[in-house]
Every structure is written in structure tokens, then in C-alpha cells.
Chain A
Amino acid sequence: MTVHDVIESLGVEVAVDGDTTRLVTSGYACDLLSEVIAKAAPGSAWATIQTHINVIAVAAMVGISIVIVCEGRTCESDVVKRAAKEHLTILYSRDSAYIVSGKLYALGLR
């Protein structure tokens, strides 16, 4: 499954396109960035409510394929710019991280 496929299936707002040809191989949900660094797998779709600029740095470090910002939260322009520079896809969802995780799971991401 690619980033493009996930965007189509979830039907959420795209804040940053990024590289939509990247493969998405798993999912992860967490707001503690130190935990994400330690536990998230490369290729993950990551659901979080954190919008600090370090989200982008952590995603790049881990090799996250998509960041899904939940609960209707949005990122500041500097965060969006940094994500675009990293070719990282950022999506905005009105759902909670729990619902987003369920949807990702239903898509077959484990």
C-alpha cells in the first residue's frame, strides 16, 4: 500500500503532499516523541495529536511514511514548511487517534 492509497481510503485533508509513492507498511499511535523514536517502525502511518516541529524531525529520523494529525488539530506554517522540505506527507483528521488507528487497521496495516 502506498501513501496515495492511504490518502484515498481515509478521505482526510492533505496538509502536505510529500512523496505519495512511498510504501506504508504499518501503523503507530503515540504522542510521546521519545517513545516514537524508540518504538515506531519505518514505513509507519503515525497518528498523533502533537504538532510541535519535532514531529517532523522524529518522523524523518524513524522513516515514518505519513503523519496523521488527529482531533482536528493543525500545524503551524513552519511545521508544514519543514514537512514539505522532508517530502513527508501530513494529513489532518477530525477523528481521534483511536478512530484513525482503527481505520488504518481495517485497511490491513498491522
Chain B
Amino acid sequence: MLEVAGDLHLHSCLSPCADITMLPGEVAGRLAARGIRVASLTDHNAACNVPAFQRAFQRAGILLVPGMEATTAEEVHLLCYFETMDALWKFSRRLLASYPRIVNDPERFGYQLVCNERDEFVGQFPFLLSMASLLSLEELRGLVEQLGGVVVPSHLDRRYGLLYQLGMVTSDMEFPTYEVAHKVNIERIAAQLPGHPQFVSNSDAHNLDSISPPRYVFEIEELSVHEVLVALRHENGRGVRLL
């Protein structure tokens, strides 16, 4: 088995709450310096910057997992990962179709900048991306899984996390992997969950200085998006190991 350090929760300048310095080349440089070899750009409810990041990551020798952090109707944040860019685009279109079109006021909510692989700004996303979609948690999860993707509920130990918004996780809605913001909270969180899930802890970086040293490694057979998704499903002996 290979052991590969991952960080599957990063925001770019597209997320209104993220710093405008979160650009492909800058982020790739920081990740490479930290020894991260698998990473995902997970902006709120949009994927416009993923292609630029994919090319920058590739140049830095980092594998990009196509992803997004989607907001359910219950205001639960879910990390959604896909095997291909095509699946991510399909998901992105479905999400946008179910999304309230509130025109963003950048001075109030923050800029939502689209960039290219040379770290240049090329446009702005018009609709506010920090809104909740109209899809319920179950609908959103169904959509991701129908497209062959995997859902990892974001930061269970803080606001917009599944436990915080919905109070509990019942046995008919459990997930194989959950994210916690802080590893010290895992024992407390695990006691509130059904089954025996695994945990990841990502940087959830909104600025360059928050890109942290690896907190976990994937235990996979080879460095591919497919293997990473199998590890997130905790299947076939693949999984994650916290550091």
C-alpha cells in the first residue's frame, strides 16, 4: 500500500469568504512545500476554478480530486468528490439549477473571482455562493452518488457541520468518512455517530497561511482519483490514517 498525504478541503478566490491570494500557483506551491500529494479545491457551490487548479497542481506533482463544498437546504456543508471533471460539471449544473439567484454584492459578502492557471483574475461569479441550495441533504447525496461520487460531511465539530445543523446522525443516514476541523474532537464526535466511521481533518484553508502540514494519509494501491474515492468509501482495504 502507498501512503499519500492529502488535503481535500481548500477554498480559492472564488469562495466569497476566501482570500483573493488563494490562486492556483500560490496554493500549489504551499501544498507541495508541505508534502501534500493529493488535494481538492472545494469552493462553495461552484467549480469554476477547478480546471486552473488542476493544471497548477499537475505542474507541482499534486493529484487533484475534482470536488466542491455544497450547501444543502438545511445549511449543512457537504464535501462532494468525483472521479472525473465531467461528473463534477454535471453536478455543478444540477446544483446551480436548484440555487437561489441572489446577485453578489462583493463589498458586503466578498469577491468571487474566477482565475486562470497563471494566477490571473479573468471574471467574477455573479450569484452569491454562500447561499443554501434548495436540495435537501438526501437529494444532494443521492445526486453525488448517482454520478459515482462520494460525500464527506464537512467539519462535524463546528458551525454548518451536519451535527451542528441537524443535531444527530441516525443509522439510516450514516457516512463512511467524516471531516473534523480539529483532530482533538474526534473521540467526542465519534461517540455521537452510528457505526464505525473513519475521520479526515483537512486544512479548510481560506488563506495561504492556513495550508497546514499533512494531518492524514491515504492508504491506497496507486496514486489515482479512483483509489482516493475508494479510500473515502472505506472499501477494499483502502482508507485513511490520521497522523
State the A residues within 8 Å of B (CB). Answer: 32-34, 36-37, 50, 52-54, 57-58, 61, 76
User: In the complex the two chains form, what is the Cα distance from A33 to B170 in whole Å?
Assistant: 13
Q: Which residues of B contact A36 (CB under 8 A)?
A: 167
Question: Are the C-beta atoms of B165 and A58 separated by less than 8 Å?
Answer: no
Known contacts A34-B163, A52-B137; A58 and B74 CB within 8 A of each other: no
Question: Are the C-beta atoms of B170 and A34 separated by less than 8 Å?
Answer: no
Q: Confirm or deny: B109 has a beta carbon within 8 angstroms of a beta carbon on chain A.
A: no
Question: Are the C-beta atoms of A32 and B164 separated by less than 8 Å?
Answer: yes
Q: Which residues of A contact B166 (CB under 8 A)?
A: 33-34, 50, 52, 54
21 intermolecular pairs with C-beta atoms under 8 Å apart: A32-B164, A33-B165, A33-B166, A33-B168, A34-B163, A34-B166, A36-B167, A50-B74, A50-B166, A52-B74, A52-B136, A52-B137, A54-B166, A54-B168, A54-B170, A57-B167, A57-B168, A57-B170, A58-B167, A61-B168, A76-B136
User: In the complex the two chains form, what is the Cα distance from A77 to B129 in whole Å?
Assistant: 30
Question: Are the C-beta atoms of A32 and B165 separated by less than 8 Å?
Answer: yes
User: In the complex the two chains form, what is the Cα distance from A58 to B165 in whole Å?
Assistant: 12
Q: Which residues of B contact A61 (CB under 8 A)?
A: 168
State the B residues within 8 Å of A (CB). Answer: 74, 136-137, 163-168, 170
Q: Which residues of B contact A53 (CB under 8 A)?
A: 170
Closest 5 CB pairs of A and B: A33-B167, A54-B166, A34-B167, A58-B167, A37-B167
Q: Which residues of B contact A32 (CB under 8 A)?
A: 164-165
**Could you say which of A34, A52, A57, A76 contacts B164, with CB atoms under 8 Å apart?**
A34
Q: Which residues of A contact B164 (CB under 8 A)?
A: 32, 34
Nearest-neighbour CB distance to chain B for A33, whole angstroms, equals 3
User: In the complex the two chains form, what is the Cα distance from A34 to B166 in whole Å?
Assistant: 6
Nearest-neighbour CB distance to chain A for B68, whole angstroms, equals 21
16 new A-B contacts at CB < 8 Å, known A53-B170, A57-B167: A32-B164, A32-B165, A33-B165, A33-B166, A33-B168, A34-B163, A34-B164, A34-B166, A36-B167, A37-B167, A50-B74, A54-B167, A54-B168, A57-B170, A58-B167, A58-B168
